Amino acid sequence: MVKSRLIRRVIPFTLLSWILLFCLSLLFTLNAHAARLAIVIDDFGYRVQHENKILQMPTAVSIAILPDSPHGREMAQKAHKQGREILIHLPMAPLSKQPLEKNTLHPSMSREEIGRIIHDAIQKVPHATGMNNHMGSAMTSSLDGMEKVMQVLSSYRHLYFLDSVTIGKTQVTKAAMGTPVQVLRRHVFLDNVQTEAETRHQLNRAIALARKQGSAIAIGHPYPTTVRALQQALTTLPDDIELVTPSRLLNPTSANQNDHQIARKCAKPHEPETVPATKLDYLKRVGNALTHNAIVETLSQHINKLLGKTAKQEVLHNAGKTESPKKDKTAQGNTGARTTTDACADF
């Protein structure tokens, strides 16, 4: 009798294990073939209404915050709670005459002054893991100027530099040579022309580049047209495109910064669940949630029925307890409600 009961419990468990293994192998296969696309939205800290819409997008969409903007710190805190990657959007001198942000870097500044401004920016944009240039055609085309920036960044080992490439003859990569600073380059600007059609077109260019090169980086801004185009396009990203953070492109084999941030977040109870970072992250969570899913629950009950006893009866019979714990579990499955612990179980 005991043996028969044991078999009835083991068979559904084995079936569930096979389903989970199948899901995991599917995920690994998808990961192996995905082209990686990183999207960074610049100029954060001024347009809260539009920026909040960006924060509702998948967390793999990263944001770059202007250090002296009125809402920069608040946006950094919000994004960090979501596990979103944050860059310092450091103002750098352009060639053309236009209004400048406070603390804009110039090639003629001393290393000490550049160091003071970067240190200040790090304090004002908490949780940043990277930096990119706001404007900067004059600064980034100055090898001497950018070498001073890279020397300063060498002492902040946690910050990579994403070259926004606002000028063809940028010296960023050359300036970083011989330093420990990791450098990335922007491939596509999403919204030089502010229409939804153009942003969609540029996003498609970025996707084509990602397929060709294995990865691509696109930069956009919190313009209404960009927000609308991304809201629509990100829900229909092709299956072979994996949306990633820039830091994933630096360390593709390691767990991404996002995962680390989410893992840290999961250590704290009662924080809101994060938005899935990508389609693949979503699939991972689906796989993870399978063990608490109503369909699996039903499947398990059905298998038990086939074996001659419902799961409910099994619980009552085995434990001699009230049915309330089972009711609780079923209720959770039916409503789809999942706790933070469920969402974080695979980190």
Closest by Cα among 53, 40, 56 to 131: 40
Rounded to whole angstroms, the Cα distance separating 93 from 97 reads: 9
Instruction: Give residue number: closest CB to Zn ion.
Output: 134
Q: Considering beta carbons, is residue 170 or 304 the nearer one to Zn ion? A: 170
Reported in sequence order, the residue ranges of the chain that DSSP labels E, i.e. its strands, are: 35-44, 61-65, 86-92, 130-135, 160-163, 183-185, 188-189, 215-220, 241-244
Residues in contact with 191: Cβ distance below 8 Å, sequence separation at least 6, in sequence order: 198, 199, 202, 220, 221, 223, 225, 226
Q: Considering beta carbons, is residue 42 or 242 the nearer one to Zn ion? A: 42
Using rule CB under 5 A, residue 186 touches Zn ion: no
Q: Considering beta carbons, is residue 37 or 90 the nearer one to Zn ion? A: 90
Given a contact cutoff of 8 angstroms between Cβ atoms, the answer to whether 15 and 290 are in contact is no
**Which position has the token pair 């600007």?**
189
Residue of the chain from 40, 43, 59, 160 that contacts Zn ion (CB under 5 A): 43
Q: Considering beta carbons, is residue 84 or 134 the nearer one to Zn ion? A: 134
DSSP one-letter string for 158-185 = T-EEEE---STT--HHHHHTTSS--EEE
Using rule CB under 5 A, residue 85 touches Zn ion: no
Rounded to whole angstroms, the Cα distance separating 83 from 309 reads: 44
Q: Considering beta carbons, is residue 186 or 265 the nearer one to Zn ion? A: 186
Residue of the chain from 38, 39, 41, 42 that contacts Zn ion (CB under 5 A): 42
Stretch that binds Zn ion, among 22-30, 71-79, 130-138, 266-274 (CB under 5 A): 130-138
Residue 19, classed as helix, strand or coil, is helix
Q: Considering beta carbons, is residue 43 or 85 the nearer one to Zn ion? A: 43
Using rule CB under 5 A, residue 134 touches Zn ion: yes
Length of the chain: 347
Stretch that binds Zn ion, among 15-23, 133-141, 226-234, 275-283 (CB under 5 A): 133-141
Stretch that binds Zn ion, among 95-103, 128-136, 154-162, 183-191 (CB under 5 A): 128-136
Given a contact cutoff of 8 angstroms between Cβ atoms, the answer to whether 173 and 133 are in contact is no
Q: Considering beta carbons, is residue 36 or 84 the nearer one to Zn ion? A: 84
Closest separation between CB of residue 277 and Zn ion, Å? Answer: 24
Stretch that binds Zn ion, among 42-50, 237-245, 261-269, 317-325 (CB under 5 A): 42-50
Q: List the x/- string, 1-40, binding to Zn ion by CB under 5 A.
A: ----------------------------------------
Q: Where are the alpha helices (DSSP H) in 155-276?
A: 172-176, 196-213, 224-233, 246-250, 257-266
Q: What residue ranges bind Zn ion (CB under 5 A)?
A: 42-43, 134
